[in-house]
Chains A and B, each alone.
Chain A
């Protein structure tokens, strides 16, 4: 079974600053994928960034980047130049590659507030 842990229930940061959200996970599989999802007040689930476990290079999407430490089973999200629209719940998630049966296992989330 897979588990995902987010130890920061809430965080806040000033607009334009950088913030890092933490996530640790556990799986016995070698082939898996990690994700950060954003859930704004609209409750829509939006994929922010993904990381393939077999790739050593950390994924980057504009202002969002990850620090993937495979040995430590750590997967943190860094948001640079934070904007008011980044205010949301952020979920770390994990799936194993399984012939199209890739259910997502989510962490408990971090509520991020960007302060004007």
Chain B
């Protein structure tokens, strides 16, 4: 079965550079979530999209922006990178659920970003 695809899998950047992380959801999934997992930490929610619109925002720095495109893939753009941005960035996708239901989030393998 098709899974969530994230690219690149590994990325090394210098401080103050820019990075773009891409996420390709499972076919027919219309909702995308981004999470950041720092070294030795739990994943933290950054931002989510449903049908190309931002649906929720978590602890995402102003230096980061994201969007979901017409084919439902999503990109996380990170500017003015800092050492503290080094982390594993997960994308998860799901189908839209109703008020009293939940559709499982399927996680991608993550992009490991290292900022030097």
A43 to B109, CA, bound (A): 7
Contact with A along B72-116 (1 / 0, CB 8 A): 000000000000000010101010111111111101011010000
A31 to B102, CA, bound (A): 10
Which among B44, B99, B112 is the interface contact of A97 at CB below 8 angstroms?
Answer: B99
Q: Which residues of the other chain, A, contact B102 by a CB distance below 8 angstroms?
A: 33, 50, 52, 95, 97, 102
CB-based contact A99/B97 at 8 Å: yes
Interface residues contributed by chain B, number (CB under 8 Å):
32
Residue among B37, B42, B99 with most chain A CB within 10 A: B42
CB-based contact B105/A102 at 8 Å: yes
Binds B, one of A13-21, A61-69, A106-114: A106-114
CB-based closest 5 A-B pairs: A100-B96, A45-B107, A106-B42, A103-B45, A101-B55
